[in-house]
Amino acid sequence: MTDDFVGLRKALKEKRMKEVPLGAYVIRITAVRYYHTCKLLKFSFEIAEGAFTGFYAMNPSPSSTTIDKPNVLTVSYKDPTQRFLKNFNEAIEESNPDLPDDWNPSDLKGTVLGVVLQRTAYNRYGDTRNSAGYYTSIQNIRSGKFYEFSFHDVKPYRREVI
């Protein structure tokens, strides 16, 4: 066993960690769901490399709602978020060169990509969860070429007016 793995086990027992610390990770997509009507791609993931490899498999979330699960990320296809979608597409394609050019959401299961996690407030009461600050290639994560958010960089809740 590596020292990182022993340290992770100890931290889990002492602190009962529910989420991985903020930072950059190489993740593997384990399930994908595409919501055509609201233009949303939701996927669950597992940490694929590093000290927290297999973290969510070792610590399944007891939550029954998807929004509360710490290993679910979303990518929106709506017009205001096109830059974020482009960033996601580039990260997927750079990290998985064998993925077909005309891939669809069902092809993403088992693919890897880099993600930098940040904290985001998801309601007006200030409750926070981990979310993707941005996506990048696994090569950038491995070489340390990414901007890392701190806990003080909590993205505020923004109420959308309809």
Q: Is residue 149 part of a domain?
A: no
Q: Does residue 98 form part of some domain?
A: yes
Determine, yes or no, domain membership for 16. no
Q: Cα(108)–Cα(88) distance, rounded to whole angstroms?
A: 12
Instruction: Give the separation between CA 94 and CA 96, rounded to whole angstroms.
Output: 6
- Please calculate the CA angle 11-14-20 and round it to the nearest 5 degrees: 40
Question: Could you tell me if residue 6 is inside a domain?
Answer: no
Q: What is the Cα–Cα distance from 26 to 53, expressed in whole angstroms?
A: 9
The DSSP bridge pattern shows strands 112-121 and 72-76 to be unpaired
- 99 within domain boundaries: yes
Lowest mean pLDDT segment, chosen from 8-17, 24-33, 52-61: 8-17
160 inside domain? no
Summarised one tens digit per residue, pLDDT across range 126-149 is: 777 778 888 999 999 999 888 776
pLDDT band for 118, please (50, 70, 90 cuts).
confident
Across the chain, mean pLDDT equals 78
Which pLDDT score is estimated for 37?
Answer: 85
pLDDT tier at 98 (50, 70, 90 boundaries)?
very high
What count of Cα atoms within 13 Å lies in the side-chain half-sphere of residue 95?
Answer: 27
- pLDDT, greater one: 10 or 57: 57
Q: What is the pLDDT of residue 56?
A: 85
Contact 119, 155 (CB under 8 A): yes
Contacts of 78 (CB under 8 A, 6+ apart): 39
Q: Which domain holds residue 124?
A: 21-143
Q: Rounded to an integer, what distance in angstroms lies between the CA atom of residue 42 and that of residue 51?
A: 25
Q: Is residue 125 part of a domain?
A: yes
In a domain, 157, yes or no: no
Residue 80 is part of a domain; what is its CATH number?
Answer: 2.40.50
In the prediction, which pLDDT does 11 show? 56
Q: 117: which 2 tokens?
A: 């996690």
Q: Quick: pLDDT tens for 64-97.
A: 455 557 788 888 877 777 788 888 899 999 999 9
Q: What pairs with residue 128 in β-bridges?
A: 121
* Gap between the terminal Cα atoms of the chain: 53
Q: Provide the domain count of the chain.
A: 1
